[in-house]
Amino acid sequence: MFDKNLFPVLKNNSDLIYLDSASTTLKPQNVIDAEVEFLIKNGANPHTDAFENAIIATEMIEKTRKTIANFIGVTNANEIVLTSGTTMSINQIAYGLKHLLQPGDEILITDLEHTANLLPWMVVAKETGAIIKNLILDSLTMGVDPYQLDKVITDKTKIVAFAHATNTIGYLNDVQLIAEKIKQINAKIIIAIDAAQSIAHCPINLQTWDIDFLAFSAHKIYGPFGVGVLWGKMAWLQQMPPLVYGGGMSKNITDDYQTYQLADVPFKFEAGTQNPPAIQGFGEAITWMSKIGMEQIHQYETELKQYAVAQIKKLGLEAQIDFYNLNNLAPILTFNVKGWNGQDVANYLDAKHHIAVRMGEHCARLTGKVYAQNSLRASFGIYTTKADIDILLKALTKQDEFLDIYFNEVT
């Protein structure tokens, strides 16, 4: 979709076939420039009006907050909390809701969740006596089955948390429909969505989703590392306690050390020094993606997946390789080569063909209950081409070369 030279990593590594975008997206030059610009032209810590650069830094952060809000269909930018990433955002949600849970209350998740959307709920459940239960997955898509929610939701269900798209199978859950079904059963159930794997691949409009929380990271959408988003309905954010305490998130502290007053939302959740260079880069990434158009990106990546599936069938690769998600249009191929250790395959692809794929559990520790404990994953971005896919699939046909990297010199 784009000239690879727009991405310095690809420009400086011209033979690299980067198929690990589900782990992190590469950064275009304009995003890197925005981050560096702050460091070399401003450099100030925000949240003071004592000097000009600090004022500019504060204004930039609030402008970025509004840019993010517009991008996901949020009308009140103060509902956008800037965090260090999806993991921090989900931990804040889980611990912020902890006080609402009683022994026997239920939290519903899936076995395909990233550990960041699994462990926080497990820990909170253990600390409160709440119970973790599974949402039912469709046997074909491995997505949340909206028509079996009434089989698992009870009058004890308090929270439902799941990924818009998982980082392994990638099926795009119909959040609008699932949320409608949940609220029809019990309007008081809290719905939290992990959008880390979908935010860069399709439009998200929270005006059409009756959910309570959303989390994602900048580095998943061609932005910098170290910054992310927690969106929540204002009513929830106002009553939730912060997970982290420190500078910038209180209005006053009494001199007897007994009481304090927190800052308003979102600032009460943004303790400590923020990351202005990354936030400026994040704003540039969102602006850039908006100009391209999320519908256009979704269409391009859908065509890539359709092409990959067609080529896999043309080459007859399903006889040699177990593919787990050819029946959806997610920009991910998850697979295992029959009879081969995935680490050997990944090392071969890298050393012999300069193809970067991910191998392992993908921080989703319970996938073995659904399809496989470990797998190889090739994930696409807007810089991925059909030629990249051809190189990957051709390399996978040469199983007689998989061990050459250990016994022969790689050329």
Q: For 246-300, what is the HEC assignment?
A: CCCCEEEECCCCCCEEECCCCHHHCCCCCCHHHHHHHHHHHHHHHHHCHHHHHHH
Task: Using the structure block, give the residue that is written with the tokens 């007689």.
Answer: 400
Q: How confident is the model at residue 27 (pLDDT cuts 50, 70, 90)?
A: very high
The alpha carbons of the chain give a radius of gyration, in whole angstroms, of 22
Q: How many residues does the chain have?
A: 411
Torsion angle, alpha carbons of 294, 299, 304, 308, to 10: 130
Q: Give yes or no for residue 1 having a pLDDT over 80.
A: no
CB atoms within 10 A of CB 408: 9
Asked whether this chain's domains 4-27+293-407 and 30-291 adopt the same fold, the reply is no
Whole-number Å distance between alpha carbons of 53 and 259? 33
pLDDT at 275: 98
Cβ neighbour number for residue 402 with a 10 Å cutoff: 19
H or E segment at 57? Answer: helix 52-71
| Structure tokens given for 29 | 């030059």
Write the CA distances from 220 to 22, 33, 282, 389, integer angstroms: 7, 18, 10, 21
Q: Specify whether the CB–CB gap between 223 and 285 falls below 8 A.
A: yes
What fold, for 4-27+293-407?
Answer: Aspartate Aminotransferase, domain 1 (3.90.1150)
Mean pLDDT of 398-410: 82
β-strand 321-323 against 260-262: which pairing, if any? unpaired
pLDDT surpasses 60 at 383: yes
Enzyme catalytic residues: 363
Number of Cβ atoms within 10 Å of the Cβ of 333: 27
Distance, CA of 102 to CA of 80 (rounded, Å): 28
Residue 362, amino acid: H
Is CATH 3.40.640.10 the classification given to domain 30-291? yes
- Concatenating the DSSP letter of every residue in 319-370 gives GTEEES-TTS--SEEEEEETTS-HHHHHHHHHHHH-EE-EEE-TT-TTGGGT
H or E element that contains 337? strand 332-337
Q: Residue 17: how many CB atoms within 10 A of its CB?
A: 24
Global pTM value: 0.96
Average pLDDT of every residue of the chain: 96
- Cα atoms found within 13 Å of the Cα of residue 38, Cβ hemisphere only: 27
Q: CB 403: neighbour CB atoms within 10 A? A: 13
pLDDT reported for residue 406: 85
Number of H helices, E strands in the chain: 12, 15
pLDDT on residue 409: 57
pLDDT digits (tens, 9 = 90+) for 179-218: 999 999 999 999 999 999 999 999 999 999 999 999 999 9
pLDDT tens-digit series, residues 117-132: 999 999 999 999 999 9
Helix (H) or strand (E) holding 396: helix 386-396
**Is pLDDT of 361 > 70?**
yes
Average pLDDT over residues 102-113: 98
Tokens at 151, concatenated: 């089989």
The domain spans of the chain are: 4-27+293-407, 30-291
Using one digit for the tens of pLDDT, what is the confidence trace for 28-69?
Answer: 999 999 999 999 999 999 999 999 999 999 999 999 999 999
Token pair 């250790």 is found at 341
Share of the chain above pLDDT 90, in %: 96
The mean pLDDT value for 237-245 works out to 97
Nearest to 357 by CA among 19, 25, 11, 47: 19
